[in-house]
């Protein structure tokens, strides 16, 4: 059976009929090409696969499978992730599955948290010290990454400021996307090794500004605010005082 891109998007958004979803899942469990297409349309897939470039061993996959056995989320999601997990090693998608399982699955967002912030928090929750420590922060590479990022969201990212934040090492800038809107993630390694991320999304339409808001998302300390054209989120670690200190510099700049 052939599935169109519209079918896949409907499946991921939960708008496909249960009958059609069951048929897709049956093919998904045994068709690596369909798995690749589903991953292509999933906003978190590339990030999760990057974060888990080193596929875990079978013991880890078995542990994740047991967690799915007790997960109480929507049946559609459980079937989807179990289908991917069953072929993770062969299809090279173990990182994708792990990302969703460990982040609590994408539909389980905290109350009061916008979708894009919840998505950012979900994949940043996967980062460990080794994730950012291994990133090569070569100056030439960073310059190229910042050029692409600035062009994507139409904003001067002030690399001079971001590379000189107190007790923070600039590691990488990535161009991502959320529901058609460009989103940039700028990764840092804090003085104690903690992975930190400064994310910026361009609004589809100009809107109202938002004052700084401090709290936690996915158990990570965060600060968010918005201009009339962009939304901003700083997230990482559990130290609210560190987030507030860094955010103060960023808010003045952006």
Provide the pLDDT confidence category of residue 60 given band limits of 50, 70 and 90.
low
> Tens digits of per-residue pLDDT, 198-220?
999 998 888 789 999 999 998 89
Q: What is the pLDDT of residue 59?
A: 58
In this prediction, residues 80-101 reach a mean pLDDT of 45
Higher pLDDT, 112 or 174: 174
SS3 16: coil
Residues 202, 184: Cα–Cα separation, whole Å = 9
Residues 169, 193: Cα–Cα separation, whole Å = 9
Residues 157, 135: Cα–Cα separation, whole Å = 20
In this prediction, residues 3-18 reach a mean pLDDT of 81
Residues 100, 193: Cα–Cα separation, whole Å = 24
What are residue 202's phi and psi, to 5 degrees? -90, 130
Span of 60-69, 141-150, 216-225, 237-246 with lowest mean pLDDT: 60-69
Largest Cα–Cα distance of the chain, in whole Å? 55
Q: Are the C-beta atoms of 156 and 229 separated by less than 8 Å?
A: no
Provide the pLDDT confidence category of residue 24 given band limits of 50, 70 and 90.
confident
Q: What is the pLDDT of residue 239?
A: 94
Q: What is the pLDDT of residue 226?
A: 95
Residues 138, 140: Cα–Cα separation, whole Å = 6
Of 50, 42, 82, the C-alpha closest to 66 is 82
Higher pLDDT, 3 or 76: 3
Long-range contacts, 66-74 (Cβ 8 Å, 24+): 67/101, 68/101, 71/101, 71/105, 73/105, 73/107, 73/108, 74/14, 74/107
Residue 230, number of CB atoms within 10 A of its CB? 18
- Across all residues in the chain, what is the average pLDDT? 78
Q: Is the pLDDT of residue 117 over 50?
A: yes
Residue 21, number of CB atoms within 10 A of its CB? 20
């Amino acid at each position: 059976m052939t599935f169109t891109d519209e079918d896949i998007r409907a499946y991921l958004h939960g708008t496909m009929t249960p009958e059609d979803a069951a048929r897709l899942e049956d093919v998904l469990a045994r068709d690596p090409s369909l798995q690749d297409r589903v991953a292509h349309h999933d906003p978190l897939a590339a990030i999760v696969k990057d974060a888990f470039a080193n596929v875990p061993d079978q013991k880890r996959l078995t542990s994740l499978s047991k967690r799915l056995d007790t997960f109480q989320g929507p049946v559609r999601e459980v079937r989807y992730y179990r289908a991917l997990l069953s072929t993770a090693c062969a299809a090279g998608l173990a990182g994708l599955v792990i990302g969703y399982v460990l982040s609590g699955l994408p539909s389980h967002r905290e109350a009061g948290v916008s979708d894009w912030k919840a998505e950012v928090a979900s994949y940043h929750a996967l980062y460990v010290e080794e994730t950012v420590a291994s990133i090569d922060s070569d100056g030439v590479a960073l310059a190229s990454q910042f050029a692409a990022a600035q062009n994507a969201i139409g904003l001067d990212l002030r690399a001079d400021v971001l590379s000189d934040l107190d007790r923070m090492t600039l590691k990488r800038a990535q161009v991502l996307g959320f529901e058609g809107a460009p989103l940039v993630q700028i990764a840092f390694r804090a003085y104690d090794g903690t992975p930190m991320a400064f994310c910026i999304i361009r609004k589809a339409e100009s809107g109202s500004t938002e004052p700084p808001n401090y709290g936690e998302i996915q158990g990570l300390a965060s600060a968010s605010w918005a201009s009339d054209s962009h939304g901003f989120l700083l997230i990482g670690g559990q130290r609210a005082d560190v987030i507030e200190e860094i955010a103060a510099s960023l808010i003045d700049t952006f």
